[in-house]
Structure 1
Amino acid sequence: MANHYFSFKQFTVYQDACAMKVCTDACVQGAYTAAYLSTRPPVHRILDIGTGTGLLSLMLAQEVPAATITGIELDTAAATQASTNFAASPWSDRLQVIATDAKDLAATTLYDFIITNPPFYESDLKSVNQLRNQAMHATTLDYIELLQVIDRHLSATGQFSVLLPYRPFADFVQLAAKAGFVLQDVLHVKQSEQHDYFRSVGIFGRHTAPLGEQFLSIRQADKKTYTTEFARLLQPYYLFL
């Protein structure tokens, strides 16, 4: 049974009301995206599509101090929990949650950056848990619709971060290109040095730029010890690093 909460160095994520819990690959996305943004001109408005527990918003709030962050979440229980997590954090004045379907969000604000950890499996077998299906499968927002939502809410010079399984990632890159987005930076992730790649975190924008490609193993060959690169990336967040 998953823990009801996950403690980080500067914030705590309660997750008992959320179908999808804190997981390592989402933490990698948050840390990698925050590190990427730290090398870029400051962003001031960030949108987190499908915020869930609020994990990604909290990680960015910690490391991107100039930004106000809006999380949107379809599931009302998860939205309430994210709001509670935000209120208890040191950055409550820069974080908010809107309980809504991403497709229904009014395009009254253009964001400098969008982050999303979307449903992974568009055709895989589903579980009996409807909320978990909604969180893990593209039952309410497929990849084309996701790109349409991003296009509607992203500024002309904005970028977005997405976490996807490694193998379908190439297909998403092609879909993004058709929607007017170019892959600008990518991190391919292995569970250990002995595994194949299983996740990719991509940074996309509207303009062509030299592609930055990086690779990360979470654990060493013994499958127990974190690699130096992973420890360095997550050190600002994990209590024991």
Structure 2
Amino acid sequence: MTDVFYFKKFNVKQSSSVFKIGTDSVLLGAYINCESAKYILDIGCGSGVISLILAQKSIANIHALDINIEACNLAKENFKNSKWADRLKVFCKAVQNFDTKIKYDIIVSNPPYFTSGNPSPKKAKAIAKHDLELDLKDLLLGINRFLSEDGKAYIIYPALQEDYFVKECKNLDLFISEKLFIIPKKGKQAKRIIFEIVRKPSKFEISHLTIENDFRHDYSQEYRELTKKYYLNF
């Protein structure tokens, strides 16, 4: 079964067997500054929504990876139906098996992040929700292989696993230059963090973004500003 998620400048066909579009992916894509990038790598692309957001605001060639054949086919269709089809390419491979001489200016990933609990019954959802096929170390190793010397990588990850994330980066001599703490609702604790990763030590910045104010669907001004180029209702 398929349905379509409509954005201002592109549409994304979704399937029940591929992880659906969520706030995490849109926030991650919207947050990244990629206007000057020449090459972008999207690891674990799913339906391709992050790649499409980055294509809208850059002139980069974007390579999207996924190990799920259904996700790859869906991303290919969504790319083909967009106005940036000539700059978007899907590779149905795990990052561990991907090989290229290209060094990417931007690498992005909204990875599987649950490390406990029972996997979903369906394989496709299990891969999307659990780190069965791509754990954090494999993802960071991929970043180490493919990030350009002055490039930046962006990963969204659960706030509860912040210490683990930082430790894994240190183990691979990768440096965190920014943390954006994403707060789901005013007065609540952050649930996600967008990490900006670089190869060299640099100035470290921390910021916060609240999605909703006091009531459900009462979106904050900062959230609206960040995503208004993409969501129809903003």
TM-score by length of structure 2 reads 0.95
Written as runs of structure 1 = structure 2, the 5 A alignment for 1:52-91 is 52-65=46-59, 67-91=60-84
Alignment RMSD: 1.5
Q: Is residue 158 of structure 1 aligned with residue 157 of structure 2?
A: no
- CA distance in 2: counterparts of 1:86 and 1:169, whole angstroms: 33
Q: Which amino acid aligns with 1:179?
A: L
- CA distance in 1: counterparts of 2:2 and 2:215, whole angstroms: 25
Written as runs of structure 1 = structure 2, the 5 A alignment for 1:143-182 is 143-182=136-175
Given that 2:47 and 2:78 are in contact with CA atoms closer than 8 Å, whether structure 1 keeps it comes out as yes
**1:201 CA displacement:** 0.6
Written as runs of structure 1 = structure 2, the 5 A alignment for 1:175-190 is 175-190=168-183
**1:234 CA displacement:** 0.5
Which SS does the other structure have where 2:224 is aligned? helix
Alpha carbons of structure 1 residues 22 and 159: separation in structure 2 relative to 1, 3 Å = same
- CA distance in 1: counterparts of 2:169 and 2:152, whole angstroms: 12
Given that 1:17 and 1:77 are in contact with CA atoms closer than 8 Å, whether structure 2 keeps it comes out as no
Given that 2:40 and 2:107 are in contact with CA atoms closer than 8 Å, whether structure 1 keeps it comes out as yes
Deviations 1:48-103 (A, max 9, x none): 001000010000001122x1100011011110110110011111111110111211
Aligned twin of 2:23:
24
Q: Which runs of 5+ in 1 are unaligned?
A: none
Aligned twin of 2:135:
142
Query: Which one is further off, 186-195 or 6-15?
Result: 186-195
Q: Which amino acid aligns with 2:224?
A: A
1:227 to 213, 216, 220: 220
Deviations 1:11-35 (A, max 9, x none): 00101164210001211111011xx
Q: Is residue 14 of structure 1 aligned with residue 10 of structure 2?
A: no
Given that 2:24 and 2:110 are in contact with CA atoms closer than 8 Å, whether structure 1 keeps it comes out as no
The number of residues matched between the two structures is: 234
- CA distance in 1: counterparts of 2:217 and 2:111, whole angstroms: 28
Given that 2:213 and 2:219 are in contact with CA atoms closer than 8 Å, whether structure 1 keeps it comes out as yes
Aligned twin of 2:105:
112
Deviation >3 Å, runs of 4+: none
Identity %, equivalent residues: 29
Query: Which one is further off, 148-157 or 198-207?
Result: 148-157
- CA distance in 2: counterparts of 1:225 and 1:26, whole angstroms: 20
TM-score by length of structure 1 reads 0.93
Q: Which runs of 5+ in 2 are unaligned?
A: none
Q: Is residue 195 of structure 1 aligned with residue 188 of structure 2?
A: yes
